[in-house]
Amino acid sequence: MVEKVNVLFMGTTIFAKEILTSLLAMKEVNIVGVVCQPDRKIGRKQEIVFSPVKQLALAKAIKLFQPEKISSEYDNLKALAIDVIVTCAYGQFLPSKVLELAKILPLNIHASLLPKLRGGAPIQWAIINNFSETGITLMKMSPKMDAGDIFSQEQIKITSEETYSSLEVKLIALAKQMIEKDLIKIINGQILVKQQNENEVTFGLNITREDELINWDQNAVLVSCKVRGLYDHPIAYTTMNNFIYKIHQVVVSEQKSQKQPGTITLINNLGIFVATKDYDVVLKQIQAAGKKVISASSYFGSSTNPLKVDLVFN
């Protein structure tokens, strides 16, 4: 039975920061180092903003690594005498030689019920694909992406109004509970692993620009799922006459679509009604390129409104 373990933590996002916060609070854990993605320029001003994990590591004066490729820090990591590697939303594949630096095991916290939704965007794809549930998996890392043996899983329901941002909050809370409850049991061999069923594998790969585009030929529920699954980042979009419109919120109406999918069928004080494969959806929050987010109902009665009934989104 271990009393104290040296843990190397790898992660970058707000999700990862919350897991690191839990690990720092555990008396059995000694964080010997933190690895996160290099600083990136973001936004229109291209300003460098430190990741949430980097901010926490600096605040706690933890040894920090930010390699473009993790292998370049191999010798420095080896010197840390690592017992356990814990990864969560890190953003790089780990080669075998890095995984083998962990004397006890390398552990990954994955935001899906593996083997479903292997990849870097499982939260978004769970909503986009209209799943009724998802969860957290604690798994032993392997060289193959998210394919390692499973230690524990817990699930939560996905509501019909769930967004990426709301579901992430719920999954963070669940992951923190699980790591606090199960980590030391896993290290002590008190939780047995089970292999993933390769016949049930699906993927939730990183969102591409193409993935963000709304397909109006889908049914209304799936259009809603796309918008909710990409809110509040990176935001689903549609186009008309070469102009981009980001769609922040939609609701499914009870009005059956009578026109070509993508056609604006009505604009009133409820919003902008758009035809899909079956029922109209109502755009509630919309953002024209370079503009602020506004209520779609603001277009009702506006003489300068570029969006008119019978115009078609691409």
> For 265-281, how does the pLDDT look when each residue is reduced to its tens digit (9 = 90+)?
999 999 999 999 999 99
Band the pLDDT of 2: cuts 50, 70, 90: confident
> For 213-247, how does the pLDDT look when each residue is reduced to its tens digit (9 = 90+)?
999 999 999 999 999 999 999 999 999 988 999 99
Q: What percent of the chain has pLDDT over 70?
A: 100
What pLDDT score does 305 carry? 77
Residue 115 marked in a binding site: yes
Q: What is the DSSP letter of 215?
A: -
- Res. 47: pLDDT tops 90: no
Instruction: State the Cα torsion 42-53-61-106 to the nearest 10°.
Output: -140
Band the pLDDT of 294: cuts 50, 70, 90: very high
What pLDDT score does 32 carry? 98
> For 180-197, how does the pLDDT look when each residue is reduced to its tens digit (9 = 90+)?
999 999 999 999 999 999
Cα–Cα distance for residue pair 70/67, rounded to 1 Å: 6
Q: What percent of the chain has pLDDT over 90?
A: 89
What tokens appear for 314 in the block? 């691409």
Cis? peptide before 115, omega within 30° of 0: yes
Angle at 138 between CA 93 and CA 209, to 5 degrees: 45
Band the pLDDT of 99: cuts 50, 70, 90: very high
Angle at 17 between CA 129 and CA 203, to 5 degrees: 25
Is domain 210-299 in CATH 3.40.50.300, yes or no? no
pLDDT average, residue stretch 13-21: 97
- Res. 44: pLDDT tops 80: no
* Residue 249: strand, helix, or coil: strand
Which residues are 36's β-sheet partners? Answer: none
pTM of the model: 0.94
Alpha helices in 84-132 (DSSP H): 96-99, 122-128
What pLDDT score does 228 carry? 98
User: Which own/partner pairs from 144-148 qualify as long-range (CB within 8 Å, at least 24 positions apart)?
Assistant: 145/93, 145/118, 145/119, 146/108, 146/110, 146/114, 146/115, 146/118, 146/119, 147/115, 147/118, 147/196, 148/108, 148/196
Beta strands in 95-241 (DSSP E): 105-110, 133-140, 150-157, 236-240
Pick the CATH number of 5-200 from 3.40.1390.10, 3.40.50.170, 3.30.70.100, 3.40.50.1820: 3.40.50.170
pLDDT average, residue stretch 4-31: 97
Residue 114 marked in a binding site: yes
In terms of residues, how long is the chain?
314
What pLDDT score does 110 carry? 98
- Residues 13/32, Cβ–Cβ less than 8 Å: no
- Res. 43: pLDDT tops 90: no
What tokens appear for 259 in the block? 């026109």
Helix axes 52-59, 14-25, angle to 10 degrees: 30
Q: Domain limits of the chain?
A: 5-200, 210-299
Q: Establish whether domains 5-200 and 210-299 are of one fold.
A: no
What pLDDT score does 303 carry? 66
